[in-house]
């Protein structure tokens, strides 16, 4: 943005909110070592030791307290493989969150199934009453629950409802690595947990996914489906051989396993998760106070049982679409990029269920869209300073004041932002 297009109040942020932290030096050294060796494939027919993905799986399973972990190419791949391992067939219904990102319904569509959306509450979590109703009335045998943007639903209630109705729970934990409910980590409440290691998540390999489970049959199927070429003996945490014997002749290879290089990038980052969580929580707490000063802005109340790892922050802006449009423009004039989940067109990888025309969005009411229509989204780089948090708060306040007074008219702004979800 040029100087002439800036606001007249002198407020300017200008920081790239999608800039990730550098990869740790020890990780870079290991990556270079692997590249020099040329052993980048996920398995080896000969040679000593275990491949990097197998070591990563063992370490992440230990960190989370799960029996098994399988490293795959993305969180979307992990969700697809989870659905297949749980027996989802083409034409089946799968319950899922209405506030989520496109890879979640995409994984359901990849399995040939149909998403049945569960309503979203004003605090951006899944509506438990609507979930109970859809568990009773739908034919779905799997719930793919998205902890979208790190907002964790009451998992004790979710788990009890799923058990009561005989529905398998799969957790999309793309935004909750290191988070928990009542001291129990997300990803461990159901049959399967799926995590992301994409650049803007809590540990960074560019792209990647981790699937965790305590279920022998799910683990064996996912290892086979992810592409082990019958070399499952190269996994360190794996089910007994007789479990593989049940599945190895009837399970397809979808070639979705993580590479050696991606796994090598991730292993040293696991031990950094507690420190990163503390930093993100400090940023969130500071920004939460500042954003609450802005007119027409409200933030969700977090439940005391929820321990979250906030790599982003969301707030509701109580304005009509023209006012929200003006708010976004005013933020951009001050060098701050804010996303809007209620935008009529999918923009910069921020979309909502009305944009996914490959399935019919069936909701009991327009409750979810009324939430998304006002939902603003701001990424939190882990290196934000207190001064930068305060500046963001002043910019949001200034933009909100102008937007309430002088709304704009286009339905949705365009942007050159190319960051990933």
Cα–Cα distance, 330 to 382 (Å, whole number): 24
DSSP three-state, residue 387: helix
User: CA dist 317 to 21, 88, 291, 294, 298, Å?
Assistant: 30, 38, 11, 10, 7
401, two tokens: 């004041």
Q: Which helix (H) or strand (E) holds 317?
A: strand 312-317
Show the DSSP H helices in 46-154 as ranges. Answer: 52-64, 75-85, 103-110, 128-137
pLDDT of residue 8: 86
301, two tokens: 């109340």
Cα–Cα distance, 88 to 118 (Å, whole number): 18
pLDDT of residue 347: 79
Non-local CB neighbours of 377 within 8 Å, separated by 6+ positions: 149, 312, 313, 314, 338, 339, 340, 341, 350
Cα–Cα distance, 361 to 421 (Å, whole number): 21
pLDDT of residue 364: 45
Burial class (CB in 10 A: 0-12, 13-18, 19+), 175: buried
Buried b (16+ CB within 10 A) or exposed e, 115-142: bbbbbbbebbbbbbebbbebbeebebbb
Prediction pTM value:
0.94
Neighbours of 65 (CB within 10 A): 12
Q: What domains are defined for the chain?
A: 25-271 (3.40.640.10), 273-405 (3.90.1150.10)
**pLDDT in single tens digits along all 421 residues of the chain:** 454 578 889 999 999 998 889 999 989 999 999 999 998 888 775 556 789 999 999 999 999 999 999 999 999 999 999 999 999 999 999 999 999 999 999 999 999 999 999 999 999 999 999 999 999 999 999 999 999 999 999 999 999 999 999 999 999 999 999 999 999 999 999 999 999 999 999 999 999 999 999 999 999 999 999 999 999 999 999 999 999 999 999 999 999 999 999 999 999 999 999 999 999 999 999 999 999 999 999 999 999 999 999 999 999 999 999 999 999 999 999 999 999 999 988 877 788 999 999 887 655 457 899 999 999 999 999 999 999 999 999 999 999 999 999 887 554 554 444 344 4
DSSP state of 353: G
pLDDT of residue 407: 83
pLDDT of residue 415: 45
Residue 212's beta-bridge partner residues? 69, 193
Q: Convert the pLDDT of each residue in 391-418 to its tens digit.
A: 999 999 999 999 999 887 554 554 444 3
């Amino acid at each position: 943005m040029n100087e002439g297009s800036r606001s007249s109040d002198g407020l300017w942020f200008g920081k790239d909110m999608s800039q990730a932290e550098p990869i740790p030096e020890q990780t870079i050294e290991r990556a270079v070592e692997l590249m020099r060796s040329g052993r980048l494939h996920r398995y080896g027919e000969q040679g000593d030791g275990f491949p990097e993905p197998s070591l990563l799986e063992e370490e992440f399973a230990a960190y989370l307290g799960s029996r098994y972990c399988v490293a795959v190419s993305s969180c979307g791949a992990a969700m697809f493989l989870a659905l297949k391992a749980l027996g989802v067939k083409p034409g089946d219904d799968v319950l899922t969150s209405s506030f989520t990102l496109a890879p979640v319904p995409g994984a359901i569509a990849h399995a040939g199934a149909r998403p049945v959306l569960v309503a979203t509450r004003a605090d951006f979590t899944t509506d438990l009453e609507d979930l109970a109703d859809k568990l009773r009335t739908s034919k779905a045998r799997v719930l793919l629950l998205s902890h979208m943007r790190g907002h964790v639903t009451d998992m004790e209630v979710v788990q009890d409802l799923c058990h009561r109705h005989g529905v398998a729970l799969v957790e999309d934990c793309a935004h909750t690595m290191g988070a928990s409910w009542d001291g129990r980590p997300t990803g461990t409440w159901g049959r399967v947990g799926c995590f992301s290691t994409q650049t803007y998540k809590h540990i960074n390999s560019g792209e990647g996914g981790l699937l965790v489970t305590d279920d022998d049959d799910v683990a064996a199927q996912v290892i086979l489906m992810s592409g082990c070429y019958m070399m499952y003996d190269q996994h360190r945490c794996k089910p007994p051989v007789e479990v593989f014997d049940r599945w190895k002749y009837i399970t397809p290879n979808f070639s979705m396993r993580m590479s050696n290089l991606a796994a090598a990038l991730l292993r040293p980052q696991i031990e950094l998760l507690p420190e990163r969580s503390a930093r993100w929580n400090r940023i969130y707490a500071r920004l939460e106070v500042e954003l609450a000063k802005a007119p027409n802005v409200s933030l969700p109340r977090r439940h005391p049982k929820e321990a979250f790892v906030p790599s982003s922050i969301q707030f509701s802006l109580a304005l009509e679409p023209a006012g929200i449009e003006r708010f976004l423009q005013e933020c951009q004039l001050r060098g701050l990029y804010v996303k809007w989940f209620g935008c009529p067109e999918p923009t910069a990888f921020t979309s909502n269920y009305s944009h996914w025309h490959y399935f019919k969005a069936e909701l009991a009411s327009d409750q979810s869209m009324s939430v998304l229509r006002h939902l603003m989204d701001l990424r939190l780089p882990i290196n934000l300073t207190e001064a930068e948090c305060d500046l963001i708060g002043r910019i949001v306040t200034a933009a909100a004041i102008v937007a309430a007074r002088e709304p704009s008219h286009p339905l949705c702004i365009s942007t050159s932002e190319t960051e990933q979800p």
